[in-house]
Structure 1
C-alpha cells in the first residue's frame, strides 16, 4: 500500500499530467511482489471505481508489453480490437479509453508498475506529450521508492 503523503504527491503528479497533456484519465498500476500481477491502485479523472478492482495477470496486457520490455508505448483501442487483444487491457474497457500512452515505473532499475494516461476519444500523443508522461513516470517511480523527485515540471 502507498502511504498517505506519497499518495498525495503521486496524485498531484497525475493531476499535473492531466493538466499539461489534456488527457481524460491518468492511473497507476503496481505489480504485486508475490504474484507479479498488475493492480491498479490510484487514478485521477476516472469515471468508475471499477478500475481499482482490476488486476492484470502476468504476461497479459501491460504486463506483457510495457513491463516486460521496460519501455513506454501508445495504445489505440481500434488496433487492439483488430488484433483481438482488447480483453487483455481491462482498464481501457472499464474507463472507456480510446487512446492511451503507458510508461513504466521503475524501482531500483527494474520495472515495477505502469503510469497510463488515456483519452475517451481517439488521439495520437505528440512527442512532447509522450516525453511529459515518461518524465512524470520517472518522478512517480522516485516518489514510490521513497526518493526525492529529481525535479518537478
Structure 2
C-alpha cells in the first residue's frame, strides 16, 4: 500500500533503484536489507527507512485500534450495568412507595379506629341508659377484641 506511493515518487527521481519495490517491506529478509544498504544508493536507504517507519506506525495504529475497541466494549458493559442498576432502583423505589402507601393507609385506619373507640367510650361513660351502655360495651369489646375471659369479667356473655 505504501510501497506503490513511494514507487511512483521514486521512479520520478533521478536514478534507478536496486530496491525491489513490489516486495512487502515488512517481509524483507536480513539479507535483502543488508544488500540494499551495501549496494543501494542514498535514496534506497532513505526509502527503506521510510517504509520501515510506516510499517512500525501501522503496527502501532493497529495496536491502538485494538485498545480502542477493548475500551469501547468496557464502556458499553459499564453503561449496560448502569442501566440495569437504574432499572433495579426504579423497581425498588416503586415497591417502597407501595409499602409506604400501605403503611400510611394502615395508620389512617388506626387513627380512625382510635377516634371511634374514643367516641364510643366517651358515650359509654356519659350515658345513663343501661341498655345503651350494654350495647356500647359490646361495641367496645368487639373493637378491642376482648378474649372470652375478658368478656366474662366485664359482664358480657360469650358466644
The question of a shared fold, defined as TM-score above 0.5 by the shorter chain, is answered with no
TM-score category (smaller protein): under 0.3
Greater strand percent: which structure?
1
Please say which structure displays the higher CA radius of gyration.
Answer: 2
Q: TM-score, normalised by structure 1?
A: 0.23
Greater helix percent: which structure?
2
**With CA pairs under 8 Å and 6+ residues apart, which has the higher RCO, 1 or 2?**
1
